Amino acid sequence: KNIRNHSFFPHEDEVLLIAATQFKVVASLDQGHGLHMIQLKEIDSPVPLIQSVTPSALMNEASSEPNHHKNKAQLKQLIAQCSPRARIDLCSKQLEDEDIEIVVNEAIINKRCAWLELGGNKITHIGVSILADALLDNNALLTLNLYRNCVSDIGVKYLVKTLSSNNHTLKELSLSQNGITDTGVEYIVNMLKTNRTLIQLWLNGNDISDRGVRLLAKVLGNENSTLKELYLSSNKSITDSSIDPLWDMIKRHQPLKKLYICDCNLSELGKERFRKTVMSKKSIRVLV
């Protein structure tokens, strides 16, 4: 578009180029005295700069809000059908962070559920922070299952802050398959130093390494006396280097009854050595 009438240089030929317009250099002319004139040719962009609006797109946009309200109504109805102080199963319901307020109000507060299944959804650290706030001084929820969500280390930080001091009820916690790393384990370890209620902890299928195992082994061997079951299977960065810290933990942490580290990265020799080592401990079941 010619913008000569809107320029500080009205006697110059100036045009306004639309953002993302693509050109091809077709010639370069030497004008002398170090001046070159480049000739450009506009070419078609491989993607449209402006996406045409189709009737179906307009219909989808118009209908998205009613569908959203419909889904919320269905979620409320589903929870309403559950018995008070019992198990509420919301696994694989495509729940997102914005649905957690309903879960908190209807399941945790109104129904005072004892067992909440939220596995296989799309809950991130944002939704977990809402759950964590709801667990402050909660004295009903015994089991919280968050496997296969998007909790991450940040979500772990929110959750364990509540479990460190304000919650004295939750006994079983599953955080399997949530992209948790050794950083998340650090938060969990700090919680285990003060929490005297949790007895089952599921951390299968995360990104925990030997360093995370050492941290867990140390706190359980020295500063926690209540955890009975620890699940670390399918953490591919756990190697033979974790065997000695785990054995030391088993010797020190008498309450531990189950330790699962299947499908990690232990060698066959390491597995066999660990099995033989723990044979003397009849009170614990170890699967490698």
Same domain, 12 and 86: no
Are 121 and 247 found together in one domain?
yes
Query: CA 219, 222, 223: angle at the middle one, nearest 5?
Result: 65
pLDDT at 205: 98
pLDDT at position 57 is: 56
Supply the pLDDT for residue 12: 58
Query: What is the number of residues in the chain?
Result: 288
- Indicate if 159 and 79 belong to the same structural domain: yes
pTM: 0.77
- Check residue 19 and give its pLDDT: 67
**Which of these, 133, 135, 147, lies nearest to 180 by C-alpha position?**
147
Per-residue model confidence (pLDDT) at position 234: 98
pLDDT at site 130: 98
pLDDT at 59: 58
Q: How far is CA 238 from CA 44, 63, 172, 213, 284, in A?
A: 52, 48, 23, 8, 20
Residue 246 lies in a domain: yes
Same domain, 76 and 186: yes
Specify whether 34 is located in the same domain as 166: no
Clarify whether residues 208 and 99 are in a common domain.
yes
Count of domains observed in the chain:
2
Does residue 93 sit within a domain? yes
- Whether the CB-CB separation of 154 and 182 falls below 8 Å is answered with no
Task: Report pLDDT for 38.
Answer: 73
Mark the ranges of the chain whose per-residue pLDDT is less than 50: none
Distance, CA of 55 to CA of 46 (rounded, Å): 24
Structure tokens at 187: 């938060």
* Residue 151 · residue 179 · CB < 8 Å: yes
Phi-psi region of 85 (alpha: psi -120 to 50; beta: other; left: phi over 0): left
- What pLDDT is recorded for position 137? 83
37 and 107 inside one domain: no
Q: What is the residue type of 125? A: H
pLDDT of residue 71: 87
On whether residue 51 sits in a domain, the answer given is no
- Taking alpha carbons only, the member of 68, 71, 159, 179 closest to residue 116 is 159
Domain that holds residue 212: 59-287
What DSSP state is assigned to residue 102? H
Examine residue 69 and state whether it is found in any structural domain, yes or no.
Answer: yes
- State the pLDDT at residue 25: 77
Strand bridging mode 285-287 / 258-260: parallel
Which one-letter amino acid corresponds to residue 212? G
Q: Is residue 119 domain-shared with residue 245, that is, in the same domain?
A: yes
